[in-house]
Structure 1
Amino acid sequence: MSILNTILHLDQNYLIIGLLAIFFTLEQVSGTPFSFKNRGKHLFQNILYQVVLTALNVFFVSIQVYCIEWLNTHEIGLLYLVEIPFIAKLLIGVMLYDFTTYWIHRASHTVPFLWRLHRVHHSDTTMDSSTVLRFHPLELILVYQTGNILAAGIFGLDVNAMVLYYFVIYIFLFLEHSNLHYPTWLNNTFGLIFVMPDHHRVHHQQEQFYTDSNYADIFILWDRIFGTFKWMPVEKMKYGLVEFEGEEKQSFLYLMKSTFLHIERVESPNLNTETNKNSPPCEEDNSFKTPL
């Protein structure tokens, strides 16, 4: 319980700084699947998003916590209909927060306004560990924090479960975005239930056919159950969005204002011709099988 208490009271900013330091260092000293230059500049640009978010969260996080605690005080939500041990409620809470995020993430790829916010994250053509920070602050505050409040109201989740969820999800996010080699056997073992780096790399593939898949952050089960799981080999991947290629369009200032600009979605020129013949060039897996 002492370890759990430490996690529940840990400042998330320290967690993010620690994970970024670990994974960014590993990317510099080990072999990587993709060769990218200007990592220092890329890191600085992405850190700016976290700086802005941290400043805004001084105000907005308190609103989120107040709303969830109000819902808890009035015992609103499905989990208040049954008696559940504290630890079990925490674990169920993590799953349900992740379940909610899956649907929000999925909506972010189909609702035009939400996509304008979310495409900032997908704009990164040279994804590495610092890409975890590349989210438009308005998306995290207006969309995902609101989603947490809705999840708490529907399911009866509390702040402790949310804190544990963020602790777990940040570990997964850094694993998933880092430019590191991972053993392929992970996909056929832990990857049956959890999101593995190779799963999330498909989600950042430039072709929209692949981008609109693998929405889960922790439990790949959601994608498998709801038919949004797809797969392609790592060596065939190209990250980012065509409409955001070029140094100017990768800058912090441009991406911050891009939400308010009309930018047409451009299909990748490398799109496999099989797709145009309505024969998907990947596995659309609705079962619990994972490619070898």
Structure 2
Amino acid sequence: MELIETILSIDPNYWIIGLLAVFFTLEQILDNPFVFKKRGAHLLQNLLLQVVFVLLNIFFLALLVFGIEWFNNQEIGLFYLLSLPYVVQVLLGVVLFDFATYWLHRASHKSPLLWRLHRVHHSDTTMDSSTTFRFHPLELALVYQAWNLITAAIFGLDVTTLALYYFMVYIFFFLEHSNLKYPKWLNTTIGLIFVMPDHHRVHHHQEQFYTDSNFADIFILWDRIFGTFKLLPVHKIKYGLVEFKDPKKQSFLYLLKSPFILMNTTKKK
């Protein structure tokens, strides 16, 4: 537990910036499966979304922490009915947060209202490490934080567990979104349990049949168990959504207001 606490004592903004610096640099010096230009401009648009999220989340994160600690003080949740070592609770809690997020992610593809926010993430037609930040700030700060609070209340999870989950999930996010060539053997080894980049690339395919698959963030087991797993050769994948094809619709300001715009689309009607 001491090692976990030491890791989590680092300001999350530092290691997120560090991960971006490492993966974005690797994308510039190694071979890429997808080639695109204007990477600097692409990075800027996605970073601006992250800046808005960080500012907005100051308020929502404070509410989340207060809510989780209140539930913990009241001993609300499944773990308070069980006698498990704390380390086991934390590790199992990470799995449960990922399990809960899988279902929210599925719901975000089925609910027209949630999809309006979530489609910002799928709007990216040239995916790279900075796509990790391509989320609408309201989706992350409001929808996901509310879901985290509900999950913590149901299972009796604490703030440390949530912090560890996000520490892990951001590592996976950068691995999954980065425009790097990964060994194919990953898919048939650790990819049987964990989400691999090739899995998540399928999720970003323009065709809805593939977009509505591979919802997991860390454990691909959820998709395998619940029948939402699909695999497609990388060279056949076309990123983005048709309604965001116009380069003007890739700008920070358009992405920010896009949930409130009625767009011509065949999805989520």
TM-score higher than 0.5 here?
yes
Quick one: distance in 1 between partners of 2:102 and 2:45? Answer: 27
5 Å-filtered alignment, 1:167-178, equals: 167-178=167-178
Gaps of 5+ in 2: none
- 1:207 corresponding residue in structure 2: 207
Gaps of 5+ in 1: 268-292
Partner amino acid for 2:200?
H
- 1:89 corresponding residue in structure 2: 89
TM-aligned CA deviation for residue 11 of structure 1: 1.4
Contact 2:203 2:211 (8 Å CA) reproduced: yes
Q: Are 2:115 and 1:123 equivalent residues in the alignment?
A: no
Partner amino acid for 1:96?
L
- 1:165 corresponding residue in structure 2: 165
TM-aligned CA deviation for residue 57 of structure 1: 1.6
Q: Are 2:44 and 1:44 equivalent residues in the alignment?
A: yes
Residues 159-197 of structure 1: CA deviation (Å, up to 9, x unaligned): 010000000000000000000000000000001100000
TM-score, normalisation: structure 1: 0.90
Partner amino acid for 1:202?
V
Partner amino acid for 1:160?
T
Q: Are 2:257 and 1:257 equivalent residues in the alignment?
A: yes
Residues 110-144 of structure 1: CA deviation (Å, up to 9, x unaligned): 00000000000000000000000010000001211
Contact 2:60 2:142 (8 Å CA) reproduced: no
TM-aligned CA deviation for residue 266 of structure 1: 4.1
Higher relative contact order, chain-length normalized (CA < 8 Å, sep 6+): 2
Partner amino acid for 1:47?
L
TM-score, normalisation: structure 2: 0.98
Contact 1:242 1:266 (8 Å CA) reproduced: no
- 2:29 corresponding residue in structure 1: 29
- 1:80 corresponding residue in structure 2: 80
- 1:12 corresponding residue in structure 2: 12
TM-aligned CA deviation for residue 95 of structure 1: 0.3
Quick one: distance in 2 between partners of 1:10 and 1:165? Answer: 14
Q: Are 2:69 and 1:69 equivalent residues in the alignment?
A: yes
Contact 1:127 1:178 (8 Å CA) reproduced: yes
Residues 17-58 of structure 1: CA deviation (Å, up to 9, x unaligned): 000000000000000000010000000110001110111122
Partner amino acid for 1:167?
F
5 Å-filtered alignment, 1:47-58, equals: 47-58=47-58
5 Å-filtered alignment, 1:107-122, equals: 107-122=107-122
What is the number of residues matched between the two proteins?
Answer: 267
State the SS of the aligned residue for 2:217.
coil
Partner amino acid for 2:111?
V
